[in-house]
Structure 1
């Protein structure tokens, strides 16, 4: 089964009409169900998106997006072994500027052999052994 792992950027761009990637996000989300059997949202990404949208758009929009994410994606919780992998990634690549949330996307993508949809390649593009998807 083809899987796609969502980073925060496309989710935020989907609901923020002021976002430079809003049109790209709308296009991408219209294509996902045709191309992927499963769409995964790592739990840390869900938390990051909810907080950002609540503060920068509105709590009501954040709540609506939460409902859509719950309905349309598989929310992947972080196991203890996933957390060890996330922690190892951050600690072993101290010159990498990514966050724990970024590391969770990478670990989940590798674990489920999925492609990643992101907007900020600066952080995730550091690693050459992951695949990206773009609409």
Structure 2
């Protein structure tokens, strides 16, 4: 398979950038995206090698292939846009829920302590 063929350091770094940018994607979708991009690079290299005496290892060929693919962030953004809406919302909702829970706990602790201190200060005989 094309995924088994080794790529040069530039192409591997490009794939690493995509993987870092795609950290928020579900693991199966991230793996699928990386496999698709890797496959595209390998196929494009093979096609370019047939007309190039330098073959697959020509740095200019690799650079041109990666340039045509585009910015890794843009590739990931397109993959995120292709996700079903419930998948996109669930990651955002999960983050928002986590923040809300932490905020609620903090407010309860502060609020509970505040009421306790206020109760102690307002008790008869505590003023003097």
State which structure, 1 or 2, has the greater radius of gyration over its C-alpha atoms.
2
Question: Which structure shows the higher strand fraction?
Answer: 1
Question: Which structure shows the higher helix fraction?
Answer: 2
**Fold-level match, TM-score > 0.5?**
no
- With normalisation by structure 1, the TM-score equals 0.25
